[in-house]
Amino acid sequence: MDSGWFELRYLVTETMLDIMGHLNHARYLTIFEEARWQLCFDKGFSLDVMLKDGIGFVILDAYIRYIKEVKNRDELTIRTRFSNLEQKIWIVDHEMIRADGTICATIQLKAGLFDLKRRRLADPQPSWLERFSAK
């Protein structure tokens, strides 16, 4: 079961660059996280809902590939998809794509829901599956 692809537009600005004039390596993670949070929010799983339900989003593993340079004022599309949702540990895929269609970076995460009281991974909940499954 997966969420389907979600897209977020993003503009690279001067404050995100390193000394070589391209996107700083740490900014990739920030941009991907912003896309992930926007997908969560759009699916009805906001920070407020997480706190109310006592469930958080936890990253267990991250594998990033830097494929092509991302430069100042590049217009990007960030694509995000959650899969393996019926399992305790699921996959989050992100792609960073320039306006010309070039894939510049990808990241694959292993993630799950975290029980904020018990401090351990939680089993998938029906509300999670309902919110995130592709429709």
For 19, 33, 81, 93, 102, the CA distances from 75, given in Å and listed in that order, are 20, 17, 20, 20, 11
Strands, E, within 36-118: which ranges?
55-66, 75-83, 90-98, 103-115
For the purposes of burial, counting CB atoms within 10 Å of the CB of 14, is it exposed (0-12), middle (13-18) or buried (19 or more)? exposed
Average pLDDT, the chain: 93
**Total-model pTM:** 0.91
Give the CATH fold of the 6-130 domain. Thiol Ester Dehydrase; Chain A (3.10.129)
Q: How far apart are CA 126 and CA 18, in angstroms?
A: 43
Kind of pairing, strands 103-115 and 90-98?
antiparallel
Q: What is the mean pLDDT of residues 72-84?
A: 96
Q: What is the mean pLDDT of residues 22-48?
A: 93
Domains of the chain, by residue range, sit at 6-130
What pLDDT is attached to residue 48?
93
Tokens of 16: 């995100």
Among 9-13, 42-46, 88-92, whose mean pLDDT is lowest?
42-46
What pLDDT is attached to residue 135?
60
55-65 tens-digit pLDDT: 988 999 999 99
